[in-house]
Each structure stands twice: as C-alpha cells, then as structure tokens.
Amino acid sequence: MADLFRLEDGSPKTAIVTGGAGGIGAQTIRAFCEKGCNVVIADLPFAQETAKHLISSLPEPNRAMYHPTNIVNWADVKSLYRKTIERFGQVDIVIANAGIMESQEFFDFEEDEDGELKEPVDAYRVIDVNLKGTRNNSDGARGSIVFIASTSGYFGGTGVVSYISSKHGVVGLCRSSQRIANQLQIRVNVVAPFFTPTYMTGGYATKWRERGLPANTVEDVATAVVRTATNPERKGHSVMVAGRVVREIETARRDLTKQWLGNEIAQIMADGGKFFDEMGGYPLPKAHG
C-alpha cells in the first residue's frame, strides 16, 4: 500500500500551511510533521517567534522551516514557494488556512470630518486575506490543495458580513477550480470547520462552552485537513467538521440538486453545464481597452 505521506522515491512530501504559527494551522503543522512530512510555516512577521517555538517543539525540527509571508502580497507568496523548493525540492501539499475576521460590524458606518461615509477598509481587508490570499496560494502545489473555509461558507446568519462573504467565495473558488485541477492532476478540496476555539473565537468561546454546545478541537480540524489533503479519492469535496462530527457535504449537495431546484430547473442547469463542457469551458470576453 502506498505511503500517502511520501513520494514514489521514498522521500517525504512537503506541506505548506499558511497561517501556520497558531491555532488550526499550528496543529496542522504538527500533524503533518508527525506523519513524516517536511513542513513550512507561512505566517506574518510578527509570528516569527511563535513559529520558531513551534518548530523547536516538533519531533524533527530539521524538517521544518518558517517563512515570513503576507499572503496578500504576491512577492511574498513567490518567495515562499521559491524558498520552499530550494530547501525541500518541491511543494506537494498546500493548506490555505490563513484567515481573519472583521473587527467592527459591516453596517456600523463611520463618517469623516466632512460628514461623508468612510471607506470600509476593515471589510476590504477581510476579503483580501480570506479570498485573495487563498487564491494566491492555489498555484504552487503539485498534488493537493486544501482551502480552509468554514460552515460560514454555506450558511450565514450571524451578520459577520465580510467573513461570511469571503468564505462563500472560498467554496466557490474550490468549485470553479475543478476543471483545470483535473487537467493538471491536482486535487483541490475544502475543509469547513464549525465552531473551533481559537484566537478568532475568543470573544464568545467561554459562553459557548457554558451553554454546553458542541465544539471542535484544533486536533479534530487538523486531522480532517491532513486526511483530506492526502486521500487520493478526495477531489472537489468539502469536508465539514462540526462538533467533532465529520461529513463530506459537497457530493450530497450535488446529489440533491433535483430535489432542491426541481426537475425542470435542474435539467436546464445540467444542459447548460454540458454546453460549457463541450465548449471546453466558459468563453471569456475580451478585456476592454
């Protein structure tokens, strides 16, 4: 049986984890390292000491490296892949985990000194990091890419507008990548965690526990990430981790299309999809100018 964590020549696979210095990302680094992989922590410069401490705690620190990376900065991302290849030879797995949440309500409009609305910079930053940053890290892996979305990528009743919008975008990024991914023999999947106690959920984690509501642990999510990244049967799947229950939901969504839309609309959508398949994809309009 093939070792899912090694290449055909027996050398270890190399995994990059963005946002890898803390929370789910750090536990994912630990999990890959324990399986014998080379690991790369890609995180912001302020996380350098935390990343170094994480590396020193790993069973084989010599198979780990930290690279200061702002995933929204294309030069940083290029350097990340270049340095990883220089150190370990290639990139086999990318876990696009880095993400943030807004620090103020989307509809808490602020005015400048002239009484006009201020540009919602905080909201833009969430979209940039969670969606653009994830997109920036979908190019380099030879074998497997896992986007970390959220149950907020499927549901959205909490009013966290920018975060929910961006995570819906991450799910859409996975879906829309499948044609090219299959051509390139790259597997692109999503892991969508429900509530997991991390820095991002610190504002309500205690009350959540007091209510007795089910929660993930970072270990639960990291296990799902590693299994999704290395399972050759996972292609275009979305693995939801909710209260330690793990389910693949994207296949179920597709299977329920007729029940959801009705037979007539489902058939129209299927015929349209077949049309674009026969065209070899969506014909893009020419750029203006």
Q: Catalytic pick from 66, 163, 204, 282? A: 163
Our answer to whether residue 163 is catalytic in this structure is yes
HEC states along the chain? Answer: CCCCCECCCCCECEEEEECCCCHHHHHHHHHHHHCCCEEEEEECHHHHHHHHHHHHHCCCHHHEEEEECCCCCHHHHHHHHHHHHHHHCCCCEEEECCCCCCCCCCCCCCECCCCCECCCHHHHHHHHHHHHHHHHCCCCCCCEEEEECCHHHCCCCCCCHHHHHHHHHHHHHHHHCHHHHHHHCCEEEEEEECCCCCHHHCCCHHHHHHHCCCCCCHHHHHHHHHHHHHCCCCCCCEEEEECCEEEECHHHHHHCHHHHHCHHHHHHHHHHHHHHHHCCCCCCCCCCC
Q: Tell me the catalytic residues.
A: 163
